[in-house]
A and B are shown apart, each in its own frame.
Chain A
Amino acid sequence: MHIPDAVLDPRVAALTGILGAAGLFYGLKSVEGQLKERTTSLMGMMSAFIFAAQMVNFPVGPGVSGHLLGGVLAAVMLGPWAGAVVIAAVLIVQCFLFGDGGLTALGANFVNMGLIGSVVGYAIYAPIRRWIGGQRGILIAAMIAAWFTVLLAAGACAAELSASGNHRDFFRILSWMALVHAVIGLGEAIITGLVVRFILLTRPDLIEQDPTFALEPQVPGGGPPRRWLAAILGGLGVALAVVVFLSPLASELPDGLEFVGQRIGFLAAGSPSSPIPVPMPDYQFPLPSLEHVKAATAVAGLVGTLVVFAVSWGLARVFSGAGRRSERASADAA
């Protein structure tokens, strides 16, 4: 998912660079305020962990393997902004030492994997965790957040890739990206879920505490407004992720965009030599037809969502009985 150099349009690279830098600066400030003098050791160690964890390959099929991305895992363990800072450190090391991900695309990569992966991921995670409650809530919410953030990141990546070119390209790139990332997201959700489950069974105290829980007994009545903000952000994130895999299906939408574009007039100026009325230009490669890809993407999205729900429910069954849990925990720790 690392975008390399020279693929993005310079304007897109600059815009995402500014966005990423602002997000990272805010994240650093908030982490420093929260962790004080523990920041360096904890952030550095967690960055090293995520980096090392990304090198563990999980077998997917013959010749294919995947690995953890870790944005949601870091956010679950440390909180949203700390998770984003950890991902930023990983991306910087990958870029400077290994050439993985372009220098000019660093901002875009951080937006996709750090800001969406951790901050938006946490916004999805927090309300679900609160709603289900307990250790079950932590596990199920983490898995759902992992699944949706990968789809969202794929959507953002497609938007960035197509922003420099033709707007019509967006749906072509999006359907491919979403199809590939439905598989990656499923893997990410399951790996995140299994690791979080392991932590819950052995050292549940290490998971980042929900700050509003600790405050609640002391502040009677009306919860803090940040809860609503997180819920709204999370809901928005989920809705957008659903759009990512459903929108390629809505074939009316490109026409609508085109119509708006022509009304406003930004399309007519942009492409004088490529006539707009052509519905499907000649850049169709000998691949399965776009309609099939769109349908496959939507099916993959729906099936993936259902599978993530089912698997997370199954994995969380361990935590239903309090007595059984402590028994398992001591057995696992031994």
Chain B
Amino acid sequence: MRLDAPDDRGKRAGPVHRLDARYKLLFTLAFVIAVVATPIGQWRVLGSLGLLLALLVGISGAPVRSLVFRWAGFALVVGFLAVMVAPGLPARASHGLVTVILSIVVKNSLAFLMMLVLATVTSWLDLLQAMRRLGVPRMLVATLQFMERYLHVLGEELARMSQARRARSFQGGSILSWRLLTGMLGMLLLRSFERAERVHSAMLARGWDGTIRTLD
């Protein structure tokens, strides 16, 4: 998992990027539910959903190469889970084990790629705004917004700390490195707390009273 993933927003502003995020969110939700609810072995339905997804990728100009790379890393885990779950499913008796496993993997891939396409064509802030307008609690949305803002700050802090550690120590045995790594985590936790205090003070100084105000 990388932190820079959501950062390529806005660079390629295609027609799908400019759509209202609410429609994109609802469409994604509908698409994923449709994929998950498709019965096992219904290849035609899955195929048409896959064509729809391919069309979307084509229109939006989402980078195919990075989508495929992400998917490939993920498919292994899903395959393992499918192998574990498939033998017990009732559909196995009528369709055979291979069909069941393949169905699960294909269904999962469609849903996974759809989520990635959504993340590519919608900026996180637009997505959060859409969630809020669709009725997700404001406090949760504000927390998520805040979190995304400081994710990068803390990530950079972590990178600096690990660079400092590498500059000062050998790559030692694992027991030593566990001590060092947890020390790093503890330090990051302290700094996060202190940063939260500072940010909170700054917010108070600018009139923050706990109600979230937005311009729309």
Contact = CB atoms under 8 A, between A and B. Distances in A.
- Chains A and B belong together in one complex: yes
Given A6-B111, A59-B177, A195-B182, A203 B190 contact: yes
A122 to B, nearest CB: 17
Contacts of B143: 39-40, 43-44, 47, 85, 89
A48 B154 contact: yes
Contacts of B190: 199, 202-203, 206
Interface in B185-211: 185-190, 192-193, 195-196, 199-200, 203-204, 208-210
Interface string B81-103: 11111011110111001000000
A85 B33 CA distance: 25
A28 B139 contact: yes
Q: How large is the interface on B (under 10, 10 to 19, 20 to 34, 35 or more residues)?
A: 35 or more
A36 interface: yes
Nearest to A65: B174
Given A28-B139, A37-B208, A162-B88, A52 B119 contact: no
A4 B78 contact: yes
Contact of A38 (B83, B145, B188, B200): B200
A5 B145 contact: no
Contacts of A202: 186, 190
A49 B184 contact: no
B167 interface: no
Given A4-B112, A45-B146, A89-B140, A53 B74 contact: no
A329 interface: no
Contacts, number: 239
Contact of B146 (A6, A44, A59, A99): A44
A112 interface: no
A36 B210 contact: yes
B85 A161 contact: yes
Interface in A59-113: 59-60, 68, 77, 85, 88-90, 92-100, 102-104
A274 B96 CA distance: 12
Binding site secondary structure of chain A: helix
A228 interface: no
B20 interface: no
A25 B165 CA distance: 41
Q: Contact size class for A? A: 35 or more
A58 B188 contact: no
A51 B147 contact: yes
Interface string A184-198: 000000110011001
Contacts of B192: 45-46, 48-49
B197 to A, nearest CB: 8
A166 interface: yes
Nearest to B161: A56
Given A5-B111, A7-B104, A195-B182, A168 B88 contact: yes
A206 B108 CA distance: 42
Nearest to B137: A28
Contacts of A97: 5-6, 119, 124
B118 interface: yes
A285 B83 CA distance: 10
A53 to B, nearest CB: 5
Contacts of A94: 1
A49 B199 contact: no
A132 interface: no
A68 B88 CA distance: 31
A202 B145 CA distance: 30
Contact of B186 (A7, A28, A199): A199
B56 interface: no
Contact of A161 (B84, B108, B195): B84
Interface of B: 1, 3, 5-6, 28-29, 32-33, 35-37, 70, 74, 77-78, 81-85, 87-90, 92-94, 97, 104, 107-108, 111-112, 115-116, 118-119, 124, 127, 137, 139-140, 142-151, 153-155, 157-158, 162, 174, 177-179, 181-190, 192-193, 195-196, 199-200, 203-204, 208-210, 212
27 contacts: A4-B108, A5-B35, A7-B85, A28-B140, A31-B139, A42-B196, A43-B143, A45-B146, A46-B192, A48-B146, A48-B151, A49-B188, A52-B157, A55-B3, A55-B158, A56-B158, A56-B162, A89-B147, A93-B147, A98-B5, A102-B112, A104-B32, A104-B33, A162-B85, A166-B90, A173-B85, A274-B92
